[in-house]
Amino acid sequence: MRKNPPRRAQRLLLWFLREDLAEEVLGDMAEKFALMVAKKSAFRAKLNYWYQVLNYIRPFAFRKSRKYFNHYAMLENYFKIGWRNMSKQKTYSSIKVGGFALGIAACLTIALFIRNELSYDTNYPNGDRIYRVVEQYTEKGKMMRGVHLPAPAGPAIKQDYPEIDLVARINPVELFGAGSNDVRADGTIENTNEDGFVWSDPEFLQMLDATFIYGNARSALTEPNSMVITKSKADKYFPEQDPIGKLMIVANDQSQPYKIGGVIADFPVTSHFNYSFFMTLSGKEFGRGEQTNWRNSNYPTYVVLHPGADPVALEKKLSMLGEKYYLPMMIESGFPNAKEEIKNLSYKLQPIDEIYLNELDVRDGLNHGDIRFLWLAGAVAVFILLIACINFINLSTAKSANRAKEVGLRKVVGSFRKNLIGQFLSESVLFTFFSFLLGLAIAALSFPMFNTLVGRTMVFPWHEWWLFPMIITGSIVVGFIAGIYPSFYLSAFRPIDVLKGKIARGSKNPLTRNVLVVFQFTTSIVLVISTFVIYRQMQHILTTRVGFEKDQVVMIQGANMLGDKIKTFKEELLRQPNVQHVTISDYLPIRGTKRNGNSFVNEGKRGVDDGLGGQFWLVDNDYLKTLGIRVAQGRDFSPDMPTDNEAAIINQTMARELGLTDPVGKRIENWKKWTIIGVVEDFNFESIKEKVRPLCMVLGNSPSIVSVKANSTDMSGTLESISKVWRQFAPHQPIRYTFMNESYARMYEDVERMGRIFTTFAVLAIIVACLGLFGLSSFIVEQRSKEISIRLVLGASMNSIVQMLTRNFVKLVLISFVIAAPIAWYLMQKWLQDFVQKVDITWDLFLVAGLLALVIALVTVSYQAIRAAVMSPVNSLKSE
Amino acid sequence: MIETRLGEFEEVILLLVGILGEEAYAFRIAEEFESQTSRSVSIGAVHSTLTRLEEKGFVNSAMGQSTAERGGRRKRIYSITAYGRRALEAAMDFRLSLWRQYPAFSGKVNYGLS
């Protein structure tokens, strides 16, 4: 390696360094360099030279005269004039900058949101090779996709396909004790209810390359009954100690404690795994033969492919699983047309980073983002920014009169058009830059609110390196877009016309400006109408008759810890004055409560008919009464009928799908035979976006949730007495309860959230558009102030003046409305397609939205108009 | 208006200028700083501080000798002015008075200075 200082670094240094410093600085640097070469290496010396050069970038060392910066003086002048213009017209400037800043803030926050949504599961080291196995089943031409595979499927895949490096299964099914559980450290008394329990293969944490704080991925879960917890949980239960080897009691089960095998860092928020307790599947079997049984599907399964393996080719090969493993099982169970049926089964490998947005519409019970919503949000952001840009363009061209003389003069003294364009562009960049800074401030300040709005916990990216470069590039790009039309427009003035005074009053109503205003209002009105529709749909969902009564019902959770005492607990509750009914069942028409899918057939038709997939719920005698579910045919369960132990109540959908016209007294079977004693009216127990699915209820024991129906509206009093009873029975366990109507509303949070987001941005769009209108109208009033004064002097009424000034704007808003209405109708029609129960888009929505836009526009404009009309004519006539 | 207070880093640099005497130029000062404090510093940072000290009137400077390893370039030698010496003394007195007021140390520490 040559032992000379790096030439590039030297050139850089000389480029910015003051000439009188060059000698001493270069000398010092040469000495340092020689020393570094002698002591370390030539490479380190060069590196250090660069470091030293970069450290000379300090104000004291800079050249004072910038003779290398050709147009410095010119640019300085441009910015100076720009600055003066800005400070001379405070109102216009603040409208321009403020509107722009609002638009930029909206755009920025939405962009951050979109970025957050796209960043899910993107940070695993082997992420590009991790896939989730998705099972596809084509039924009546419709493809259903699920992720729950049978327990032996994972090991079978690992064994049969050498191109797979690692297979890991998890079991998140509540029936097996995953989900939420009461938990405590061994040796303490009080339980805490925690979410995020999951059964997992030891390989699972290895696959995700989880960061271990205590223990390691290789051995943490290998021992049976071991468990890995996250850092936050470790801090909670074992503060300031190494929890490895410590025991935890899960679900109050003293006989089977779990030994902590490791502690991992919490998963980032942007991960679809929100688990905190990983209980090992090693040596675990849920019932005899469960691990080798192909009939029950409970295990989402993840694979890591060998580097270079082709997932598409593997997907094809995976279809062999059906014939090899499912078919023998199906033939054994006597499935009709098993051979044909199995052809409908295929597999897909879903990359781990696509799981969150779920474009394949896989049924996996996880929370998902919505790609269509992201597109929509992105479009709204762009439109708001466009509206803001239009303000800028309109105000710049409208105020052109004030700049016309300047343009004329500059041209006369020899400015080329290209210079003028440069000037106006740099001015526009200057404006945009200020707007960006202000927009950044607005975005940062409103970020906590935005987080609540979208229900995320994002952090404002101050610490990210790209933020400030982005602002600079952003202001240049947006500044160009917004400034290009005004600068061509302004620079085109002919000096002779200008100096003669022809353009002195500016153009009155150029077509472009009107078109742009129409565009602004069209966008705003579309947003307003959409907001109305979304709101109405939301109200519809929350108030529509769902088939059960969710008001005044308290759900007491974790009641299973009462054990045998639960019956007495129920009786005691019923003795309270405000309590009307009490039922014990974990199966409720609320998301997050227990579900159990079974296959049903009419009696004796097993193996003849296709099984009907339906829910199989365990309830008690008071279930229907407590939830106010109506019996359509037959009767409710009764404690006086001992035969009811073999009785079932089904819903209308199941009766219809099983082809039972007179179901009462008929018998159906899943794994046992049941006599139908009643049919209930359909009620929604999944999302109201979907159709009601078949349901069968029998008497049984599922003691985690006790639901209490109160007969008074005094809920706090009722709660008081419920809590008192609870304390008698479980003094060590704090009561946990939720209101059913609140839990129900939470199921539709996403719709509600969408409504709120739309409202916010619709309001924002209208505000920005109105800012522009305000600026335009004040300009027009100013322009016609003499005319108005003369009209007033000659006896015009105030009314006629206001009318004259507002007429044009009203016309524009009306045109916008005519354009916006069909667009909004079309978009909302599309959006509503998702819902089974939808509101009608009625004409009054359009009327209200149109009127609203009109009124807002009129108020904005007439403020200026009225001010002009009540002004004393003398003021504007006395000058000149 | 020129700021006349002495910052902590400035104080150290000023002292080093005094210690190095005829050898007080930016590179040497930076080296000496690194070896005495075992903290790294760039020549640019030292140079900028020296310029500031000169503006405040604490040091003077003049171009000195050139050497071969500098490629025949001369160095700028700095020297403390009387005003700079006073500023250093004032800084030390202030420190000492603070130390004496600190009860845990008062009477126990002897600096061998006073």
CB distance from B36 to chain A under 8 Å? no
What distance separates the 2 farthest-apart alpha carbons in chain B? Answer: 56
- Tell me whether residue A509 is exposed, middle or buried, using C-beta atoms within 10 angstroms of its C-beta: 0 to 12, 13 to 18, 19 or more: exposed
- pLDDT, average across residues B95-109: 76
How far apart (Å, rounded) are the C-alpha atoms in residues A497 and A476? 32
How far apart (Å, rounded) are the C-alpha atoms in residues A41 and A805? 79
Give pLDDT, residue A211.
87
Tell me the per-residue pLDDT of B29-80, one tens digit each, with 9 for 90 and over: 999 999 998 888 999 999 999 999 998 889 999 998 888 888 888 899 999 9
Cα within 13 Å of Cα(A491), Cβ side: 17
Question: What letter does residue A270 receive in the DSSP assignment?
Answer: S
Residue B27 with chain A: CB contacts under 8 Å: 27-29, 31-32
Which residue from B31, B44, B74 is facing A58, i.e. has the nearest CB? B44
The two three-digit tokens of residue B29, written as one number: 């000062």
Tell me the per-residue pLDDT of A824-865, one tens digit each, with 9 for 90 and over: 999 888 888 877 778 888 888 888 888 988 898 888 888 888
Q: Compute, in degrees rounded to 10, the torsion defined by CA atoms A735, A740, A741, A743.
A: 80
Question: What's the full length of chain B, in residues?
Answer: 114
How far apart (Å, rounded) are the C-alpha atoms in residues B12 and B24? 13
How far apart (Å, rounded) are the C-alpha atoms in residues A691 and A835? 9
CB distance from A640 to chain B under 8 Å? no
Give pLDDT, residue A2.
53
Where does chain B have alpha helices with state H? Answer: 8-20, 26-37, 43-56, 82-101
Give pLDDT, residue A65.
56
Residue B51 with chain A: CB contacts under 8 Å: 60
CA-nearest residue of chain B to A22?
Answer: B73
Q: What is the DSSP string of A711-737?
A: SSS-HHHHHHHHHHHHHHH-TTS--EE
CB distance from B74 to chain A under 8 Å? yes
How far apart (Å, rounded) are the C-alpha atoms in residues A189 and A406? 83
CB A543 within 8 A of CB A553: no
Tell me the domains of chain B and their CATH numbers. Answer: 8-101 (1.10.10.10)
Question: What letter does residue A583 receive in the DSSP assignment?
Answer: E
The two three-digit tokens of residue B2, written as one number: 């020129």
Q: What H or E segment, with its residue span, contains residue A279?
A: strand A277-280
Residue A27 with chain B: CB contacts under 8 Å: 27, 66, 70-71, 73-75
Residue B48 with chain A: CB contacts under 8 Å: 58, 60-61
Q: Does the pTM of the predicted model rise above 0.95?
A: no
pLDDT interval class at B114 (50, 70, 90): very low
Under-50 pLDDT residues of chain A: 1, 68
How far apart (Å, rounded) are the C-alpha atoms in residues A252 and A183? 7
Residue B52 with chain A: CB contacts under 8 Å: 60
CA of B69, closest CA in chain A: separation in Å?
A: 6
**Closest C-alpha among A356, A693, A744, A756 to residue A535:** A756
CB distance from A61 to chain B under 8 Å? yes
The two three-digit tokens of residue A521, written as one number: 């209002």
Which long-range contacts does A621-624 make (Cβ < 8 Å, 24+ apart)?
Answer: A621/A699, A622/A581, A622/A582, A622/A583, A623/A583, A623/A585, A623/A697, A624/A649, A624/A680
CB distance from A32 to chain B under 8 Å? yes
Give pLDDT, residue B2.
47
Q: Which of B61, B69, B78 to mutate to test the interface with A (most CBs of A within 10 A)?
A: B69
Give pLDDT, residue A843.
86
